[in-house]
Amino acid sequence: MDADRHHRGEDRALFPALRTERPELSGAIDKLMQDHSMLTHLLAELRRAVESGENRDAIERHLDGIGAIMESHFRFEEREILEPLRVLRLEADVTSVLGPL
């Protein structure tokens, strides 16, 4: 699914580089990767719900769940790794690391 390319890019390139430079952030990185996995699952469930014609209330519940996880994820990401990311040295193109933004 194209919607999670950004997270796959972070998991594949950004987080390993950050973990190498800042091993003390491994726990935070693990949590962020777990969130990515959960979001992939939730997005797949949303797609299934839409394709199977579930009613509006069911679709809204899927969207509410995705929204809650994303909000929590972004707040945690900003709190735990934003500053280290600002000084991280990456030897890769930003688009290949972060995917579509």
* pLDDT at residue 27 in the model: 97
What are all long-range contacts of 38-47, with beta carbons under 8 Å and residues at least 24 apart?
38/69, 39/4, 39/7, 39/66, 39/69, 39/70, 39/73, 40/1, 40/4, 40/7, 42/66, 42/69, 43/1, 43/3, 43/4, 44/1, 47/1
Average pLDDT of every residue of the chain? 88
* pLDDT at residue 12 in the model: 85
Tens of pLDDT, residue by residue over 53-85, are: 999 999 999 999 999 999 999 999 999 999 998
0.85 exceeded by the pTM?
no
Nearest alpha-carbon partner for 31 in 69, 87, 84: 69
pLDDT band at 10 (very low <50, low <70, confident <90, very high): confident
- 25 pLDDT above the threshold of 60: yes
Percent of the chain at pLDDT > 90 equals: 68
Tens of pLDDT, residue by residue over 88-100, are: 887 777 676 666 6
